[in-house]
Structure 1
Amino acid sequence: MSTHIGAESGQIAPYVLLPGDPYRARWIAETFLEDPQQYNDVRGMLGYTGTYKGVRISAQGSGMGQPSMAIYAQELFEQYDVQAIVRVGTCGALDERVKVRDVILGMAASTDSAMNRPRFGDVTFAPAADFDLLRYCYEAAQEKLLPAVVGGLFSSDQFYNPNTEISATLARYGVLGVEMEAAALYTLAAQFSRRALAVCTVSDHLITGEETTAAERQETFDDMMVMALDAIVRLDREGDGR
């Protein structure tokens, strides 16, 4: 067991889907995984392991924001030898070309967080996704005609950001969506030489004002899950799971 995850050695799969909402982790397990077994309920952060198309995969809640997510990602990488984490979450769209319910595959993640300063000092590290996971996820989306777009994310430490101009500035530089976890996840994957990808369904649009309901955010983002799961299966079958 680690400090925040109550699993024994071997209970967590080499590949983990990491939603922020623990109830989404349960929904993933019950909806997509065969024979899911719960291994964690510490602090209400539910975790399950099952199989998808014959590949062992876990689903683990991580909470909201980079500090919370980083606790779980680091323990999964460092103490449970997890080889790849795919964040499956939501984001707000910053670009009119991206629609609500589209899925953004986060190629890189800008951030306003200070979390990397102890690591890099004055150097600005550029957190980026694993290429193979990104490629497999995009290929799965194309084959299944699912609405996916590849581009940059903005990982903000503030859900209610008082800097109302930053979204427009980021959009001018090609950033497609704003969320709260990817930059820290990509940094930890780099630290431990593991793989990571953020796959985010657009739940609301910062330009048009369109949004989804809480129930839809929890239980109806099937396209995102299928892309992420199929990407993991491809990674495993290509022998790229390390």
Structure 2
Amino acid sequence: MSMHIEAKMGDIAPSILLPGDPERAKFIAENYLQDPVCFNRVRGMYGYTGLYKGQPMSVMGTGMGIPSMLIYATELTRDYGCKRLVRLGTAGAFDPDLKLMDIVLSQATSTTSAINDYILPGHFAACADFELLDKAYHLGRDRGLRIFAGNTLCNDHLYIDDKPAYAAKWAAYGVIASEMEGTALYTAAARYGAKALTMMSIVVTNFGGDGSHEGGVSAEDKEKNLIDMIELALDTAAQ
């Protein structure tokens, strides 16, 4: 048992999906896993294990932001031996070619966070596992999904006063979208010998000059209607 997860050894599958919202984890377990069993309720961060297409599969919420993800990704890999971790979440588009509900695979993460700066004598390049990235990309293309892979930004700040100018600076260097957890996931996976991928659905585009946004989707869509991405994440994480 770790400090933040009450599961016993063997309760969590080697393959696990990591949505930020614990309610989304519950939704996935109840709708996609056979005979799901809840292994964690600590801090309301629900985790479940069941079968997906005959294979053990787990799903667990991680909360928002780099510190929260780093706690759970570390404990899942270090203490429970998880080997294939797929985060599924939402992102804001920096690339103007991205449309609402497009799927972005984070090939690598730039970041505004300093979490790794005091650990290593340089700047760690947090990147996805190529096997998972390649599998997800080709599965998505075969299903006719609008799917993109590229460098993404892992932000400490959600609300930024001059979002259009901020986004434009990153976009000029090929950064296509912004989220808040990927660097932590890739760092923990690298440290403890696991494979990881961050997969996101675009829910915000066209940043307004006052820091607001246009073209967003409803909370209900974000939580329950991202079916294509959920199914892609499950099939990517499965052995």
Q: Same fold (TM over 0.5)?
A: yes
The amino acid across from 1:219 in the alignment is K
Task: Give the CA deviation at 1:152.
Answer: 1.3
Task: Give the CA deviation at 1:209.
Answer: 1.7
Equivalent positions of 1:90-239 (< 5 A) are 90-121=90-121, 123-162=122-161, 164=163, 165-207=165-207, 209-233=214-238, 236=239
Task: Give the CA deviation at 1:119.
Answer: 1.3
Q: Cα deviations across residues 184-238 of structure 1 (Å, max 9, x unaligned)?
A: 11111111121000000001114472111111111011111111111122xx1xx
CA distance in 1: counterparts of 2:130 and 2:159, whole angstroms: 31
Which ranges of structure 1 fall in alignment gaps of 5 or more residues?
A: 237-242
Aligned to 2:47: 47
CA distance in 1: counterparts of 2:158 and 2:85, whole angstroms: 23
Question: Structure 1 residues 202-211 or 24-33, which shifts more?
Answer: 202-211
Q: Is the 8 A contact 1:92 1:206 kept in 2?
A: no
The amino acid across from 2:45 in the alignment is M
The amino acid across from 2:205 in the alignment is H
Which ranges of structure 2 fall in alignment gaps of 5 or more residues?
A: 208-212
CA-atom RMSD in angstroms? 1.2
CA distance in 2: counterparts of 1:105 and 1:205, whole angstroms: 17
The amino acid across from 1:145 in the alignment is G
TM-score, structure 1 length as denominator?
A: 0.93
Q: Is the 8 A contact 1:156 1:178 kept in 2?
A: yes
Task: Give the CA deviation at 1:145.
Answer: 1.1
CA distance in 1: counterparts of 2:216 and 2:158, whole angstroms: 15
Q: Is the 8 A contact 2:86 2:233 kept in 1?
A: yes
Question: Structure 1 residues 105-114 or 141-150, which shifts more?
Answer: 141-150
Q: Is the 8 A contact 1:138 1:227 kept in 2?
A: no
CA distance in 1: counterparts of 2:191 and 2:206, whole angstroms: 33
Q: Is the 8 A contact 2:85 2:237 kept in 1?
A: no
CA distance in 1: counterparts of 2:141 and 2:117, whole angstroms: 38
CA distance in 1: counterparts of 2:65 and 2:107, whole angstroms: 19
The amino acid across from 1:225 in the alignment is I
